[in-house]
Amino acid sequence: MPGKDREEESGKYTTSYPDSSFLEAIQQLGGMAGTSEIAEEVGCTRRTAYTRLKSIEEDGRINSRKVGNSLVWSTSG
């Protein structure tokens, strides 16, 4: 599977997309971008991007806001 690696012991899939990839994608896209744009920049599915972005937001490293039907993500600070 693209973007996923298997752990040898458990056989579970693990992501190969570090948080830094999502943070860098936001920066590359001008400091603010939608979920689909970020997913395309990172090379993952929109669903994967959304899940990871929500996790990063919970850590306080990015912010989101609703614009129309989309979420726009921006870096904190």
Residue 75 is assigned to a structural domain of this protein: no
Q: Is the pLDDT of residue 22 over 70?
A: yes
Residue 2 has a pLDDT of 47
Query: How many of the other CB atoms lie within 10 Å of CB of 77?
Result: 7
> Domain of 20?
4-62
Q: Is the pLDDT of residue 60 over 90?
A: yes
Q: Which residues contact 13 (CB under 8 A, 6 or more apart)?
A: 1, 4, 5, 6, 7
Residue 31 is assigned to a structural domain of this protein: yes
Residue 9 is assigned to a structural domain of this protein: yes
**CA-CA-CA-CA torsion sign (31, 32, 37, 42):** positive
Residue 69 is assigned to a structural domain of this protein: no
Count: domains in the chain: 1
Q: Do residues 22 and 53 make contact, with C-beta atoms less than 8 angstroms apart?
A: yes
pLDDT (tens digit, 9 = 90+) per residue, 27-37? Answer: 999 999 999 99
Q: What CATH number corresponds to the domain at position 52?
A: 1.10.10
**Whole-model pTM?**
0.78
Average pLDDT of 42-65? 95
Average pLDDT of 65-73? 93
Residue 50 is assigned to a structural domain of this protein: yes
